[in-house]
């Protein structure tokens, strides 16, 4: 296979990623209409990320360049700043207890905030005594174990650690599940409904690096089995964040409207892609501007898909409810 983690596909100049899979999709079976704007952030610089829906229906999301976490109240239609100086927060996640997990890239740590009182504590900021790379995305399983991806960003210098995926147990112990060269740039993470599979996006923009949606068997102890590459986006832009519906389908934010100075092509269309657990493209909802980054389910029936995209928080109704 050549370089570790690189499928043979990359050796072929004819690689087209998923560009030939869009024709004939039955997107109406998954989406009710097109994505619509919920709100636009007022900042001059904007790259929204990390949508997460709290128990009261509020949507928390980040604007990385200005280091803010926003809160959107769907009942009052009001956008407020939840946190200034967020540490260039990226991915967010609401735990089963209702707390907010935050991937603070600039500080190299994952924190937990109690929404009722705003108090925060550090969940993980090192592994075996060494700092971790900036956390990117985070999820929690039903046993309270936290899984997060960790990778350098263009604005944060390497701390000397490695690109990796970690697990944090309820007692605070941090384990490293994956590390380079087996992963090149880990990004979005998600769990199957039965929590027997961990899904991971590899999203490296450089030539001959992984741009994949991967599946790993997940044991009851929280360890990973052998990987399966279920989608290969190369040479187009890979996925970014993702979420899962009750039937186990993955909703993956991926693609570009225009080239952005990397080796990524436009073979991946910009929007939310619905993939079956085995990687078959089932549906697609286009997003209006660059760059679509992440999505999550919300609404009383969990059939409102919130999407972060450029300066916008978008939404689209879905036919299948998301995991609660």
Reported as a pLDDT band with limits 50, 70 and 90, residue 3 is very low
Q: Map tokens 């952005």 to a residue.
A: 260
5 close to 282: Cβ distance less than 8 angstroms:
no
Question: What predicted TM-score, i.e. pTM, was given to this entire model?
Answer: 0.95
- 57 has a pLDDT exceeding 70: yes
DSSP secondary structure of 145-169: -EEEEE--BTTB---S---EEEEE-
Give 193-199's long-range contacts (Cβ < 8 A, gap of 24+). Answer: 193/244, 193/246, 193/247, 193/248, 193/323, 195/141, 195/142, 197/277, 198/147, 198/224, 199/242, 199/244, 199/250
- The set of residues, in sequence order, having a beta carbon less than 8 Å from that of 265 and lying 6+ positions away, is 17, 235, 236, 237, 259
What are the pLDDT digits (tens) for 225-260? 999 999 999 999 999 999 999 999 999 999 999 999
Q: How far apart are CA 273 and CA 236, in angstroms?
A: 14
Query: What is the spatial distance between Cα 36 and Cα 21, in angstroms, rounded to a whole number?
Result: 24
pLDDT of residue 16: 77
10 Å CB burial of residue 120 (0-12, 13-18, 19+) is middle
For the four alpha carbons of 174, 178, 184 and 188, in that order, the dihedral sign comes to negative
The token pair that represents 256 in the structure block: 């570009």
Query: Which pLDDT value is given to residue 15?
Result: 63
Q: Could you tell me the pLDDT band of residue 152, with boundaries at 50, 70 and 90?
A: confident
Segment 208-215 mean pLDDT: 97
Place of tokens 């080796």: 263
| pLDDT at residue 84 in the model | 97
Q: Looking at the predicted structure, is the pLDDT value of residue 308 above 70?
A: yes
pLDDT tens-digit profile of 117-145?
999 999 999 999 999 999 999 999 999 99
For residue 1, the model assigns a pLDDT of 28
Instruction: Judge whether residue 155 has pLDDT over 80.
Output: no
Cis peptide before 181 (omega within 30 of 0): yes
């Amino acid at each position: 296979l050549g370089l570790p983690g690189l499928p043979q596909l990359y050796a072929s100049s004819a690689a087209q990623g998923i560009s030939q899979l869009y024709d004939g999709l039955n997107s109406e079976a998954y989406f009710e209409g097109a994505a619509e704007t919920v709100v636009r952030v007022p900042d001059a610089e904007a790259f929204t990320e990390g949508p997460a829906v709290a128990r009261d229906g509020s949507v928390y999301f980040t604007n990385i360049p200005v280091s803010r976490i926003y809160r959107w109240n769907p009942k009052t239609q009001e956008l407020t700043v939840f946190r200034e100086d967020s540490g260039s927060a990226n991915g967010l996640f609401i735990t089963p207890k209702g707390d907010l997990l935050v991937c603070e890239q600039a500080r190299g740590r994952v924190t937990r905030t109690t929404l009722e009182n705003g108090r925060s504590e550090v969940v993980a900021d090192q592994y075996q005594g060494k700092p971790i790379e900036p956390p990117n995305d985070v999820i929690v399983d039903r046993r309270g174990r936290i899984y997060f991806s960790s990778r350098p960003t263009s604005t944060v210098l390497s701390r000397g650690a490695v690109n990796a995926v970690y697990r944090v147990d309820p007692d605070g112990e941090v384990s490293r599940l994956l590390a380079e060269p087996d992963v090149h740039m880990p990004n979005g993470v998600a769990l199957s409904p039965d929590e027997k599979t961990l899904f991971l996006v590899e999203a490296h923009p450089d030539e001959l690096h992984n741009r994949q949606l991967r599946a790993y068997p997940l044991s009851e102890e929280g360890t990973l089995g052998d990987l399966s590459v279920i989608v290969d986006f190369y040479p187009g832009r890979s996925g970014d964040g993702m979420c899962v519906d009750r039937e186990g389908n993955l909703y993956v934010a991926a693609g570009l409207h225009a080239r952005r100075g990397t080796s990524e092509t436009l073979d991946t269309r910009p929007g939310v892609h619905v993939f079956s657990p085995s990687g078959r493209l089932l549906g697609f909802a286009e997003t209006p501007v660059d760059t679509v980054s992440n999505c999550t389910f919300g609404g009383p029936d969990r059939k409102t898909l919130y999407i972060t995209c450029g300066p916008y928080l978008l939404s689209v109704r879905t036919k299948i409810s998301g995991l609660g």
